[in-house]
Structure 1
Amino acid sequence: MVPADLMALIQRFYQLQSERVETYRLFEEGHEAYLRTGPQYDFEHYKQLVHEITQAFSGISKEVLEIKGRLHGEFDRADLSEHIDKLQSKEKQKLELTAKLQLAKQQAQDHPEDEGYRERVQEIRHEIIKNKEVLSEIMQDFKYDSEDCD
């Protein structure tokens, strides 16, 4: 019999991942709204959005790392904590790529005559797709390894 605490911890981890997905959606919507304010750009609103998104991601990461620590120490599930470690690394990379994509989109918008900027947007989008595939694999591994907790 698996402790209810462990199941609750795993469920909380899944909730946090859902919150992360929602935060990315809000970030993307906010950036699209920011781009619509061009060419003058309402940077103050965008700066506030970035601050709020950063706070949200920071809070999620902090709690995910606490879960990782509890899985490893309290429940002796090094396998699950290792998945979270890999996931955190890929999530960090995804956030960096997202920031690069947003900058590239603005540059492409500001320089519509320059094909290089549009190509850069496509390159970064491709990197994000690859990143999401790896994230999905890590989540599948986590799900598989945590199923014996049911």
Structure 2
Amino acid sequence: MDMEPAEGGGEVKPLEEENGVEPMDTVDDASRSAKALDLLRRFLAVQRRRAEAYTKLRRGFSDYMSNGGEEAYQKLCREITQEFNDCSKEVIELESMFLMPDLCRADLANLLKAVQAQEKQKLHLSIKIQVLKKSCRPSERLVMHDSCRFDNVKGHQCVHVQEITEAAGTEDAEADAEYDNALKEAICGVQEAVTCINEYMEEVRYEIEELQSE
């Protein structure tokens, strides 16, 4: 640091202090941009993992509906749940890193947080859709005959046989309508979540382009 001699050969002092400016550490803008860029690329990698997990879940459910295999399907659900939990933890970590003093990018942290919220909603409704499809519409569900009796002479004596009345038909129709509405709402909810996620991801890609150009 340049020093300026005081009059009469006395004590010397930094020029910055003479001008009333305190020395301070400066943040390297290029380094900040590079770090932010790296974090956003890591976030894109997490989103790819999520997309692959959804594909695996859909295929597994389709196979289950076609061929059965409850144990295999439940095992797949546990694996997918763990994968989504791992992805969520990594995104939360990335959010906290964007808030660190060396970056101070609350805007990007909030962007990742918004995606995280929509991903949570998408997963919740996706699982709800599968649960509904597994159970089928009320009027199409198979009746279990564990409590029925079998007579050597009369054969199967079903305890589920009942007189079909107008009231029973109305009840079945209402149950089916409730089921259909629940399924429709879940499907629409997933579509809305996907739309929001895609819009947020466009913002992420725009930020990446901006950081690359700096």
TM-score computed with the length of structure 2 as normaliser: 0.62
Give the number of the structure with larger relative contact order, counting CA–CA contacts within 8 Å between residues 6 or more apart: 1
SS at match of 2:104: coil
* Native 8 Å contact 1:31 1:46 kept in 2: yes
What is the match of residue 52 of structure 1?
A: 79
Rounded Cα–Cα distance in structure 1 between residues aligned with 2:128 and 2:114: 21
Could you tell me how far 1:92 is from its partner in structure 2? 0.6
Could you tell me how far 1:142 is from its partner in structure 2? 2.7
What is the match of residue 153 of structure 2?
A: none
Rounded Cα–Cα distance in structure 1 between residues aligned with 2:40 and 2:87: 14
Aligned pairs for 1:70-89 within 5 A: 70-73=97-100, 74-89=102-117
1:140 equivalenced with 2:202 (yes/no): yes
What is the match of residue 64 of structure 1?
A: 91
20-29 or 103-112, larger mean C-alpha shift: 103-112
* Native 8 Å contact 2:40 2:204 kept in 1: no
Rounded Cα–Cα distance in structure 1 between residues aligned with 2:138 and 2:54: 24
Q: Structure 1 pair 110/36, CA: closer, same or farther in 2 (3 Å)? A: farther
What is the match of residue 9 of structure 1?
A: 39
Could you tell me how far 1:146 is from its partner in structure 2? 4.1
What is the match of residue 14 of structure 2?
A: none
What is the match of residue 193 of structure 2?
A: 131
134-143 or 42-51, larger mean C-alpha shift: 134-143
> What count of residue pairs does the alignment treat as equivalent?
147
Query: Structure 1 or 2: larger helix share?
Result: 1
Unaligned ranges ≥5, structure 1: none
Give me the CA root mean square deviation: 2.1
What is the match of residue 28 of structure 1?
A: 58
CA deviations over 1:58-114 (Å, ceiling 9, x no partner): 111111111111112141111000011111111111110001000111122775487
Rounded Cα–Cα distance in structure 1 between residues aligned with 2:110 and 2:49: 21
Choose 1 or 2 for highest CA Rg.
2
For residue 71 of structure 1, what is the amino acid of its counterpart?
A: F
Rounded Cα–Cα distance in structure 2 between residues aligned with 1:78 and 1:109: 46
Unaligned ranges ≥5, structure 2: 1-28, 142-172
CA deviations over 1:30-74 (Å, ceiling 9, x no partner): 11111123xxx4221111111100111111111111111111214
Rounded Cα–Cα distance in structure 2 between residues aligned with 1:29 and 1:119: 25
1:90 equivalenced with 2:118 (yes/no): yes
Where does structure 1 differ by over 4 angstroms across 4 or more consecutive aligned residues? none
